[in-house]
Amino acid sequence: MANEFALESIEVSSSPRERFVEYLQSRGKRVTQQRLQIVDRIFERHDHFDADELIASLGQVDAKISRATVYRTLDELVDAGLLKAMTLTGRRVYEHDYGYPQHDHLHCKKCDQLIEFASDELVALRDAVARKNGFRVTGHRLIISGICADCQKKQNRAKSPLDLI
């Protein structure tokens, strides 16, 4: 599920870690080793990931952090506005929400890759639909599914020789 970011990052004044500490303190929560390791690891190299991938990557560098703590911290990071969560194939996947512009995804059914794209038109369309329905929008999630360019190539490469028989 790892994947490079397609969009430019937004200029932000403080690091994700600083933001998280701010968030924790503002709520009287404690700044623990585990919480810091988790933010650091997430914002150092992850973009789209699920709980298991994060747990695996934590096991390599840091002291082992329990599954429960990872789940609890992920919830806090979403709460703090640093991460965004969505449910893909049954499992929850997360992505950075701090320092990145609003965007949506193309999801490849073959390789599970997520490709990002931003569209102002889409937001306008969304707001128009909502207005028409007296609906107060808080957000949206568009996932376009299909086959990515790479997988189409692979498919053709694998098929062509046989097609000639």
- Buried (b) or exposed (e) across 80-112, using 16+ Cβ within 10 A? bebbbeeeeeeeebbbbbbebeebbbbbbeeee
Residue 78 engages a copy of itself in binding (rule: CB under 8 A): no
Under the binding rule (CB under 7 A), the answer on residue 34 touching DNA is yes
CB of 93 to DNA, least distance (A): 8
Per CB under 8 A, which of residues 34..63 are in contact with a copy of itself? none
Q: C-alpha dihedral over 73, 88, 130, 147, to 10 degrees?
A: 140
Interaction of residue 52 with DNA, rule CB under 7 A: yes
Instruction: Assign 131 to helix, strand or coil.
Output: helix
Applying CB under 8 A, does 149 fall inside the site for a copy of itself? yes
Q: Does 57 engage in binding with DNA (CB under 7 A)?
A: no
Residues 107, 113, 117: CA angle, nearest 5 degrees: 55
* Helix (H) or strand (E) run with residue 86 in it: strand 83-87
Q: DSSP state, 4?
A: -
For the CB of residue 148, give the shortest distance to a copy of itself in the complex, in Å: 6
Q: Give me the residues that bind DNA (CB under 7 A), please.
A: 24-25, 28-35, 50-52, 63-69, 71-73, 75, 90-92
Which residues of this chain interact with a copy of itself, rule CB under 8 A?
87, 90, 106, 108-109, 115, 117, 119, 121-122, 125-126, 129-130, 132-149, 152
